[in-house]
Amino acid sequence: MSYQTINPFNDEVIQTFDNHDDAYVEKAIAEGHALYKKWRNDPASSRAEILNKIADLMEEDADHLAKVLTIEMGKRFVEAQGEVALSVSIARYYAKNGADFLKPEPIKSLMGDAQVISRPTGVLMMVEPWNFPYYQIIRVFAPNYIAGNPMLLKHASNTPMAASEFEKIVERAGAPTGAFANLFIDYDQVNKIIADDRVQGVALTGSERAGQLIAAEAGKNMKQSSLELGGSDPFIVLDDADLSEIKKIIGGARLYNAGQVCTSSKRFIVTEKNYDAVLTMLKDAFAEAKLGDPLLEDTTLAPLSTSKAKKNLTKQVKAAVDAGATLEYGSVVQDKPAALFDPVILTGITKDNPAYYQEFFGPVGQVYKVKDEEEAITLANDSNYGLSGVVFGGSPEHATEVASRIETGAVYVNSFGGTLPELPFGGVKNSGYGRELGRFGIETFVNKELIVTKKEPIDLDNAFGGFV
């Protein structure tokens, strides 16, 4: 596996990185395990200062860190700045709240004074993608740093600079040796790490296929895992929806980060009453998008992450059209240079079309017409994925009721979906399992250890529930 930074705007090779050998990996595991044995007896609060320092350094270097993302995976500079700011907020959130989340929880019991205490489990393996290079790291790193789990990172092969920059910041912040190690490794080495007795869990964000492979390896080795995979996220528009509100965000709902967002709206499911108006809105928003250099302020649509991603997405669009979908906007032929991809809108996708169950990871919108909200709910749930969704309706209460019937990890009512440190993130079905962020995110890889302290003599005449 070759780790290279290639500017997707012009396909210029910026830097190539050498892979780490097995000896380097062994050293990283050993240092992490040694730190875990120390950390497991230290209070979580003792690690908050370093996490705040990491946030400080990211804030100070924000523009530099953002530019790395723009050059490396093509993210618009303003969007890259937003990702850095979000990453800072996640670090500060767990620095402030992490120790409280991990406080002992008392349980009333006939057996005695019972409590559940939270303890780290050990070294973790992170396998993270390229679409949000810092955010994907920090949302696993921050809660587990506070919890006391040292971490190893295998980042995407096209974002090695971001991985290196994050590692430098952790070191500069004064984190102890073993707390975090970035590894330029292949998947055979990842599997060996997962199998190592000193490693206790693996977190992956990536494709469905990658999730299957990692979950299988984790299961084979009895290791805990969390998976955040893809999504074919519905955007439901009910009869009484306020179209003026939808107009504000419909373009961003699909085109933010060049549409390369697991939770971005991919399937616009619209009742007959509003179908034509919403389709026109989406066309207008796509027409207004200015595709170009992500470093320029007037660019509103960035290139895809790689020329390979462009090739694959183009192939998907062609297959959908060949199978009967209507090309409402854009072109099957993508003839701009490098990874530049003009947005596309597809309609008329039937259940026998391969596109019906696929995730389009880029600026491709699908629009479906349904007769009523019941059909909208049925269509939204007719998916192998279940990550996120949006429901727009004139009555927030009724729209919330509709949202509760959508089979996803999250639904946003009358708002485009996003992410904040306090909001748990994760999915169901082929979108994976486990949660990151919020209180739930810190609990994924901690040992909820039960301690029962009996203060009265054992009564052998009463065996209810054991010796009570």
Identify the pLDDT of residue 455.
Answer: 85
pLDDT higher than 70, residue 468:
no
Q: What is the pLDDT of residues 415-452, one digit of tens each?
A: 988 899 999 999 999 999 999 999 999 999 999 999 99
- Fold of the 233-413 domain: Aldehyde Dehydrogenase; Chain A, domain 2 (3.40.309)
In degrees, to the nearest 5, what angle opens at C-alpha 454 toward C-alphas 448 and 458?
A: 130
DSSP-based three-state secondary structure for 304: coil
Q: Kindly provide the b/e burial profile for residues 153-170, where b requires at least 16 CB atoms within 10 angstroms of the residue's own CB.
A: bbbbbbbbbbbbbbbebb
For residue 266, which of 243, 234, 312 has the smallest C-alpha distance?
234
Question: What is the residue extent of each domain of the chain?
Answer: 3-229+431-451, 233-413
Which member of 128, 262, 359, 436 is catalytic? 262
pLDDT at 465 exceeding the cut of 70: no
- Give yes or no for residue 10 having a pLDDT over 80: yes
Supply 365's token pair. 């919108």
- Evaluate the CA torsion angle 359, 360, 363, 368 in order and state its sign: negative
What pLDDT does 417 receive?
A: 82
pLDDT tens across 291-340, in order?
999 999 999 999 999 999 999 999 999 999 999 999 999 999 999 999 99
Residue from 72, 228, 359, 407 carrying the catalytic annotation: 228
Residue 162: which region, alpha, beta or left (left: phi > 0; alpha: psi -120 to 50)?
alpha
- Report pLDDT digits (tens) over 37-96: 999 999 999 999 999 999 999 999 999 999 999 999 999 999 999 999 999 999 999 999
Question: What amino acid occupies position 75?
Answer: K
Structure confidence at residue 460 as a pLDDT band (50, 70, 90): confident
Task: Tell me, letter by letter, the H, E, C secondary structure of 245-291.
Answer: HHHHHHHHHHHHHHHCCCCCEEEEEEECCCHHHHHHHHHHHHHHCCE
Give mean pLDDT, residues 346-353: 98
Would residue 105 show up in a list of annotated catalytic residues for this protein? Answer: no
Q: Is a pLDDT exceeding 70 seen at residue 466?
A: no
Judge whether 228 counts as a catalytic residue. Answer: yes
Mean pLDDT of the chain: 96
Class of domain 3-229+431-451: alpha beta
pLDDT given at position 120: 98
Torsion over CA: 301, 303, 357, 204 (sign): negative
Gap between the Cα atoms of 419 and 407, Å rounded: 19
Q: Is it the case that residue 162 has pLDDT exceeding 90? A: yes
Tell me how long the chain is.
Answer: 468
- 18: its two tokens: 């050498």
Q: How far is CA 398 from CA 379, 391, 395, 403, 428, in A?
A: 18, 10, 5, 9, 23
| Secondary structure of residue 320 in the 3-state scheme | helix
Structure-model confidence comparison of residues 1 and 261, the more confident one: 261
